Amino acid sequence: MGERAEVLLSSIPVQLEPAEAVTRLGLIALATDLTTERDAARLIPHDRAALHVTRVAFENPTTAENLLRMAPLLTEAARLLLPGEPMAAIYYACTAASVMIGDDAIRHAIQAGKPDVPVVTPTDAALTAFRSLGVQRITLVTPYLSKTTQPMVAYFQRKGLEVVSAQCLGLEDDRNMARVSSQTIIDAAIAADRPQSEGVFLSCTALPALGVIEALEDRLGKPVISSNQAGLWQMLNHARLAPNEGLGKIFDRMPLEAVYD
């Protein structure tokens, strides 16, 4: 071994890229989430944006009691997302918990940890998507138990949508929900759909539904919205970003006037 080299301070002046050169997006995912980051990677334009992820403790089964336990954890989870750095939006990726805790309560909890940042929930994003498409009557398909699905029916009806058909797959573990096959999702949506329905909602951020949306829209002749598709669509809207690829009719609608360049 020779003599250890002396460390010198470089004479090269350091130039920093402007903070706004990269749009910063936040994701609060469940500890057990196997799906959302993959969906986000497909839609978010990484040449212009970066997704920063934190996770929140969650234990299966997906029951009201377990979903509600996340509520007091959201503020601290938000604080872990780039402290002191500006962000364009934060997406809380749990549909059933958004129903149980409430969109407004989630927004307030996250903004307590990350003030002044727009907060997206999959339920509010789905409502915005259906309203943007002029859809008032929907088919609801979930991977959940029936007792977890019923509050979701009540949520949409309370918000002004008519749920003409609701069916669930009867799963209680979101890790199994993440492994539901594409063919199962397609078959379940077709079986649940009704002629009077104007659109289909595939609930659950764990459900790997993003890849079947366009096939289902072609087959059913109506808009199909999934939890992550809607949540990421609304987050991109807040950030004024166009997606890598627009999966589904909803990406023809950018109500917040996203910039396409």
- The domain spans of the chain are 21-121+230-247, 124-226
CA distance 40 to 93: 11
Mean of pLDDT values over 99-125: 97
User: Is 124-226 a domain of CATH 3.40.50.1110?
Assistant: no
Indicate the pLDDT class of residue 4, thresholds 50, 70 and 90: confident
Please list the alpha-helical segments (H only) found in 48-194.
Answer: 64-68, 74-79, 95-101, 103-113, 122-132, 146-158, 174-177, 182-192
Q: Which CATH architecture fits 21-121+230-247?
A: 3-Layer(aba) Sandwich (3.40)
Q: Is 163 exposed, middle or buried (0-12, 13-18, 19+ CB in 10 A)?
A: middle
Tokens (6 digits) for 210? 């993003």
User: Would you tell me the crossing angle of helices 227-239 and 122-132 to the nearest 10 degrees?
Assistant: 80
Contact indicator for 209, 230 with CB cutoff of 8 Å: no
The reply to whether domains 21-121+230-247 and 124-226 share a CATH topology is yes
Q: Tell me the per-residue pLDDT of 7-19, one tens digit each, with 9 for 90 and over.
A: 999 999 999 988 8
The 10s digit of each residue's pLDDT in 189-199 is 999 999 999 99
Alpha-carbon separation of residue 148 from 59, 115, 117 (angstroms): 15, 31, 29
What is the arithmetic mean of pLDDT over 106-135? 97
Greatest distance between any 2 Cα atoms in the chain: 81
In the beta sheet, which residues pair with residue 29?
55, 93
Q: Please, what's the b/e burial string for 165-176 (b: 16 or more CB within 10 A of its CB; e: otherwise)? A: bbbbbebbebee
Confidence of residue 245 (pLDDT cuts 50, 70, 90): confident
The burial class, CB within 10 Å (0-12 / 13-18 / 19+), for 246 is middle
Would you say residue 259 has pLDDT above 50? no
Measured in residues, the chain has a length of 261
Q: Alpha-carbon dihedral of residues 92, 150, 157, 177, nearest 10 degrees?
A: 40
Res. 211: pLDDT tops 60: yes
